[in-house]
Amino acid sequence: MCDDVPMMRHKDVWRAIDRLAEAHGLSTSGLARRAGLDPTTFNKSKRTTRENKLRWPSTESVSKVLDATGATIEEFVGYVTEGRGQLPSQKVPLIGFAQAGLQGFFDDAGYPIGGSWDVLSYPDVNDPHVFALEVSGDSMEPVYRDGDRLVVSPASDVRRGDRVVVKTKDGEVMVKELKRKTALNLDLKSLNPAFEDRSLEVRDIAWMARVLWVSQ
C-alpha cells in the first residue's frame, strides 16, 4: 500500500491502524484477529525489520481491517492525517468492470483514455495513469464483492502474491493473484475458489496492472 502512496508517512499509517483499533474497542491483536489475520500482524515488533528498516502494513491487511470494521478508506486516511491536514488527492477515472474489456477505454499500455469515465477522488499515489474498476457480480468473492471499487496502478511494480488486473489481447479482463511470471508464461490464482486458476502466455497479454486498494 504505502510504497505507492509516498505522501503517507510510516509512523502516521501505523498510528492509523492503532486509532482504528481503538475506535472499535480492540487491541491491535484483536483487530488483526477480527480481520482474519495473524494476531501479530500489527504488533510493534512488526513495524521495522531486524535491520531497522521501515516495514509498512500491506494493502491486503488494511483492506481486510476496513472490511471487518466497516470503516471506509476516507476514515482511514483521516486517521493517517490527524494533526497535519489533508493529504493531496487526485481525480481517478472509474468504469464498471464489464466495460474494461471494450474498445476505447485503454491504450496499448493499459492507460485509461477517452471521455466516458466517471471520476472518484483518491489520495495522490504519484501515478497519473491510476484508474478504478467497479466490481459487478460475485465472481471475485470472497475477496471482492459486488460494488467494490478497485484502485489500479499501471506504474506500480508487480510482485508474486500481488492482486492484479490482466487484460488479454482478445479483450478478456480478469482480476487474479499473481502466482508466477516467467519470460514466457503468467500463472494466476483465482480469487474465487469456484473458478479455476489460469496460465497464460505472455505474448497473449495486452497489459497487467497492480491493484493498490479496494474501496467499499
**Residue 3: band (very low, low, confident or very high) from pLDDT cuts 50, 70, 90:** very low
Q: What domain range is 122 assigned to?
A: 89-215
Tell whether 132 and 179 lie within a shared domain: yes
Averaged pLDDT for residues 78-95: 73
Same domain, 148 and 59: no
Last residue of a domain, one of 61, 80, 99: 80
CB proximity list for 92: less than 8 A, separation 6 or greater: 119, 120, 121, 122, 130, 131, 132, 151
Does residue 128 share a domain with residue 76? Answer: no
Examine the domain organization and report whether 22 and 103 are in the same domain. Answer: no
In angstroms, rounded to a whole number, what is the distance separating the alpha carbons of residues 172 and 29? 40
C-beta separation of 39 from 32 below 8 A: yes
Strands (E), 23-172: 89-96, 118-123, 131-134, 149-153, 163-168
Instruction: Give the DSSP letter of residue 6.
Output: T
- Do 162 and 200 fall into the same domain? yes
Q: With 70 as the cut, is the pLDDT of residue 203 above it?
A: yes
Q: Is residue 4 very low, low, confident or very high in pLDDT (cuts 50, 70, 90)?
A: very low
Same domain? 110 vs 174: yes
Q: What does the block give as the cell for 12?
A: 502516521
Domain CATH for 21? 1.10.260
Confidence of residue 84 (pLDDT cuts 50, 70, 90): low
Q: pLDDT value at position 5?
A: 42
Q: Does residue 2 surpass a pLDDT of 60? A: no
- Residue 205, CA distances (Å) to 91, 156, 158, 169, 202 in order: 28, 17, 15, 6, 5
- What does 155-171 look like in DSSP terms, one character per residue? TS---TT-EEEEEETTS
Same domain, 208 and 113: yes
Reported as a single tens digit per residue, the pLDDT across 136-190 is 988 898 888 899 889 898 988 888 888 999 999 999 999 999 999 999 999 999 9
**93 contacts 153 by C-beta, under 8 angstroms:** no
Helix (H), strand (E) at residue 33? helix 28-34
Residue 201 has what pLDDT?
97
| Amino acid, res. 143 | V
Torsion of CA 131, 91, 56, 76, to 10 degrees: -120
- Residue 49 corresponds to which cell in the numbers above? 525489520
Please give the tally of structural domains in the chain. 2
Residue 202 predicted with pLDDT over 90: yes
What pLDDT, on the 0 to 100 scale, is given for residue 216?
A: 62
Model confidence pLDDT, tens digit, residues 12-67:
889 889 988 998 889 999 999 999 999 999 999 888 888 888 888 887 788 888 88
- Residue 205 pLDDT grade (very low, low, confident, very high; cuts 50, 70, 90): very high
Q: Look at residue 8 in the predicted model and tell me its pLDDT.
A: 60
When pLDDT is cut at 50, 70 and 90, the band that residue 117 belongs to is: very high
Instruction: Report how far residue 136's alpha carbon sits from residue 138's, in angstroms, rounded to the nearest whole number.
Output: 7
Residue with cell 477505454: 105
Residue 87 pLDDT > 60: no
57 or 4: which leads in pLDDT: 57
Same-domain status, 64 and 97 = no
